[in-house]
Structure 1
Amino acid sequence: MESTRQKKIARLLERDFGEIFQRLGKDHFPGAMLSVTKVRVTPDLGIARVYISMFPVKDKNELLVWVRHNSAAIRNDLAQRVRHQLRIVPELEFYVDDSLDYQENIDRLLRGEGENPIK
């Protein structure tokens, strides 16, 4: 169960990450749209798990590797944005949010376009 403090910090980080990834996507991945779908913060506020949705990207793992490789620069940019709200900037862990892909797959299967269509 998340505390009120965790939820507030998660919302703050989610907003700031949205701006950061919007700029990064434009500079490093033209044509790709990166958005932060969820941020979860541990109870000690030491780790932030960031879930990223990517569209239209063919190789999401390649983009995730790039984000993880540049996490120090992303964390530094985040620190500049939240320096007056947070005393310590949490360590960052990035994950691909595949909930939209899952939803598209379910819709496709329900329309009968899947590998095992209902007859």
Structure 2
Amino acid sequence: METTRQSKINRLLQKELSDIFLQQARAMQGILITVSTVRVSPDLGIAKVYLSVFPSAKGPELIKAIQANVKQIRFDLGKRVRHQLRVIPELSFYIDDSLDYIENIDNLLKK
């Protein structure tokens, strides 16, 4: 069960991370990155960030690049939320493939 504090922090981190990725994605033409969900652990020490990437074929290489720069992303996030949070959670990034799954089901139903 998610507490009210966790859900508020989830929304805050989602908003700030989406702003960070928006600034970074401007340099990469033709790639759209969306922060679909953020889930913070009960002790607020770990945040699982689910990213939706378009085109989805570039997802795995983009996640590798993000994992390589996770310290810089966490630092940028810390500068943005330093007045709201005491401890900036460790970030782990995952691909959100729910849109691909939905598209696959739609294609199967059309047949």
- With the length of structure 2 as denominator, give the TM-score of the two structures: 0.97
Cα offsets for 1:38-79 (capped at 9, x unmatched): 000000000000000001242311111001110001001100
Count of aligned pairs between the two proteins? 111
Whole-Å separation in 2 of the counterparts to 1:7 and 1:83: 18
Give me the CA root mean square deviation: 0.8
- Whether the aligned pair in 2 keeps the contact of 1:47 and 1:91 (CA below 8 Å) is yes
Whole-Å separation in 2 of the counterparts to 1:52 and 1:6: 19
Query: What is the percent sequence identity of the aligned residues?
Result: 53
Write out aligned runs for 1:3-18 (5 A). 3-18=3-18
Q: Which amino acid aligns with 1:35?
A: T
Q: Verify: 1:2 aligned to 2:2, yes or no.
A: yes
Whole-Å separation in 1 of the counterparts to 2:48 and 2:4: 17
Write out aligned runs for 1:79-98 (5 A). 79-98=78-97
Runs of 4+ in 1 over 3 A off after TM superposition: none
- Indicate the SS of the match to 1:20: helix
Say which structure is richer in helix.
2
- Whether the aligned pair in 2 keeps the contact of 1:32 and 1:57 (CA below 8 Å) is no
Question: What's the counterpart of residue 47 of structure 2?
Answer: 48
Write out aligned runs for 1:1-119 (5 A). 1-27=1-27, 29-112=28-111
Q: Which amino acid aligns with 2:21?
A: F
Bigger Rg, structure 1 or 2: 1
Whole-Å separation in 2 of the counterparts to 1:73 and 1:50: 15
Whole-Å separation in 1 of the counterparts to 2:101 and 2:62: 19
